[in-house]
Amino acid sequence: MLGLNKKDTRFLLIVIALTLLTPIILQPFPEGSSLAQFNAGYPDLMQRFAIFGIFAIGFNILFGLTGYLSFGHAAFLGVGSYTVVWMYKLLDYNVIWGLPLAIITSGLFALLIGFVSLRRSGIYFSILTLAFAQMSYNLAYSVLTPITNGETGLQVYTDDVQILMGANEPQSPHFFGIVMRENFWVADIGAWEFTFNNGYYFSAVIAILAFYLSLRIFRSPFGLMLRAIKTNQTRLNYTGLNARPYTLAAFVISGMYAGLAGGLLAAMDPLAGAERMQWTASGEVVLMTILGGLGTMMGPVLGAGFIKYFENIFSKINEQVLRQWFGFLPDGLEGAVVWVAEYFVGSGWHLTSGLLFMLVVIFLPGGLVEGGQKLAGLFKRGKSDEDIDDPEHQPKQSPHVAE
């Protein structure tokens, strides 16, 4: 189906089902219970899952397949956001204008940066992309202020032209009248509350499309060439293939994914700021990808979800919550545990993510997917290989990063 083999089709269907049911799956605890704080079925958070999932899926096409480590992809995210907000300002709040344009502008931007950066490989490539991204960030804060509105960030003002704005049109981002921030159904079932949000489903459908496209790319001759680039460029050249257009294409595609993700961020919340382009933001998508599992289909999505979920949970926890949790401990011990734990929660989330970054690189280079497979392998030993439903079989034990 859809040009996929049976296994991939089943895999895709599972992903679709999970994505569509996310508002239910992520809300396992009844409202008001002490565990309700671990629920993640809020529109805002779920939107971020989908959007950063797209970002990471795209990044994986570059880093996961070709092994070219870019530290500048946040720049494309920013370009996407700015494009969409500008379309709000000039035309109207319908995202149909901005999103395709965001893909195009970020793609062109990626073509330019990629063309130059890909003249070099290995660490030089990483530094070049980093330099470009920092340059864009600095420019967004300074000279480009007329376009980016500098530190304030770009937003829609009442005196903007909005030439297509109709009389009854919603005053916030929408898709032909479907307002992103509105919920189409809030279901109260017993003690549970499930929120079905327009914006989430809009992003989710796009995320599924993005995932499907990347699945096709993974299984295509093009994807095969990208993986070949990662493992042996010498052989590739002597096999009559030119690596540069392939890597450039991968770079541009991943840039377009990033632009789309950035556009969607602005579609959920009509704002765009330069901080989205900072290199720490580029670092975040690298973390998502390697945490989930570099070069695997599902890894980046898992990684993005994992990071955004724990970012949300950890940021909410404060001293009070900690005291409540560890209240059962003797006083002195409680104090010590809370004191240590405080480093990692609240605004300490960045510390946790940095630590996570190190731990994954050191102990789990294959990411969550590989970790899961190892665990599954322990249980499933004895069963024949055919039986194991494992859509992650694609790149076989490749070392997780190449230069």
Partner 1 sequence: MDAILLQILNGLDKGSAYALIALGLTLIFGTLGVVNFAHGALFMIGAFCAVSLQRLLSLSFETVDPTRTDFLGNPLKVKTPYIESWFGPETGAAIIDWSVPLAILFSIPIMLLVGFIMERGLIKHFYKRPHADQILVTFGLAIVLQELVKHWFGANPIQTGAPEAFKGSFDFGVLLGFDPNLIIYPYWRMVYFGFAAVIVAAVFAFLQFTTFGMVVRAGMADRETVGLLGINIDKRFTIMFGLAAAVAGLAGVMYAPINSPNYHMGMDFLVLSFVVVVVGGMGSLPGAVLAGFMLGILESFASMNWIKSMIPGIDQIIIYLVAIAILLTRPRGLMGRKGVMED
Partner 2 sequence: MGLLEVKGVGKRFGGLQALGNVNLSVQENSVHAIIGPNGAGKSTLLNCFVGKLIPDEGSVLFNGQSVLGRTPHEINQMGISRVFQTPEIFGDLDVMENMMIPCFAKRDGAFRMHAFEGVENEKELVEKAEQMLIDVNMIDKRHMNAASMSRGDKRRLEMAMCLVQDPKLLLLDEPTAGMARADTNNTIDLLKEINEKRDITMAIIEHDMHVVFSLAERITVLAQGTPLVEDTPENIKGHPKVQEAYLGEAH
52 binds, among partner 2, partner 1, none (CB under 5 to 8 A by kind): none
Q: Name the DSSP letter for residue 329.
A: S
Number of residues that bind partner 2 (CB under 8 A): 34
Rg over alpha carbons for the chain, rounded to the nearest Å, is 22
Q: Assign 258 to helix, strand or coil.
A: helix
Rounded to the nearest 10°, the torsion over CA 77, 83, 85, 90 is 180
Contacts of 376 (CB under 8 A, 6+ apart): 388, 390
Tell how strand 154-155 and strand 183-189 pair up: unpaired
Q: How far is the CB of 142 from partner 1 (least distance, A)?
A: 5
Q: Which is nearer to partner 1, 134 or 315 (CB)?
A: 134
Residue 5 in contact with partner 2, rule: CB under 8 A = yes
| Binding partner at 227 among partner 2, partner 1, none, C-beta below 5 to 8 Å by kind | partner 2
394: which DSSP letter? Answer: S
Alpha carbon separation from 385 to 205, 393, 397 (Å, rounded): 33, 11, 15
Nearer of residues 290 and 304 to partner 1, judged by Cβ: 290
Q: Which residues contact 368 (CB under 8 A, 6 or more apart)?
A: 291, 292, 293, 299, 302, 303, 306
Contact between 74 and 276 (Cβ < 8 Å): yes
CB of 347: closest distance to partner 2 in angstroms?
Answer: 40
Are the CB atoms for 95 and 175 separated by under 8 Å? yes
135-154 footprint of partner 1 as x/- string (CB under 8 A): x--xx-xxxx----------
How many angstroms separate the Cα of 129 from the Cα of each of 38, 58, 135, 252, 286? 37, 16, 10, 13, 13
By CB under 8 A, residue 171 contacts partner 2: no
Q: Is 280 in the site for partner 1 (CB under 8 A)?
A: yes
Is residue 319 within 8 A of residue 337, CB to CB? The reply is: no
Q: Which of residues 179-238 bind partner 1 (CB under 8 A)?
A: 233
Nearer to partner 1 by Cβ, of 19 and 233: the residue is 233
**Angstrom distance (rounded) from CA 43 to CA 359:** 30
Q: Least distance from C-beta 130 to partner 2, angstroms?
A: 26
Q: Is 315 in the site for partner 1 (CB under 8 A)?
A: no
- Select from 52, 132, 200, 246 the one that contacts partner 1 (CB under 8 A): 132
Does residue 73 belong to the site contacting partner 2 (CB under 8 A)?
no
Q: Which residue has the tokens 């949790």?
A: 325
Q: Which of 48, 73, 89, 227 binds partner 2 (CB under 8 A)?
A: 227
Q: Pick from 27, 66, 121, 394: which binds partner 1 (CB under 8 A)? A: 121
Residues 230-289 that bind partner 2 (CB under 8 A): 230-232, 234-242, 245-246, 249
Q: Tell me, what DSSP letter sits at residue 383?
A: B
| Least Å from the CB of residue 208 to partner 1 | 29
| Tokens read off for 119 | 């003249």
Pick what 166 binds: partner 2, partner 1, none; C-beta below 5 to 8 Å, kind-dependent: none
Residue ranges that bind partner 1, judged by CB under 8 A: 67, 69, 116, 119-124, 126-128, 130-132, 134-135, 138-139, 141-144, 233, 279-280, 283, 286-287, 290, 343, 348, 350-351, 353-358, 361-362, 365, 399-403
Residue ranges that bind partner 2, judged by CB under 8 A: 3-5, 216-217, 219-225, 227-228, 230-232, 234-242, 245-246, 249, 395-399
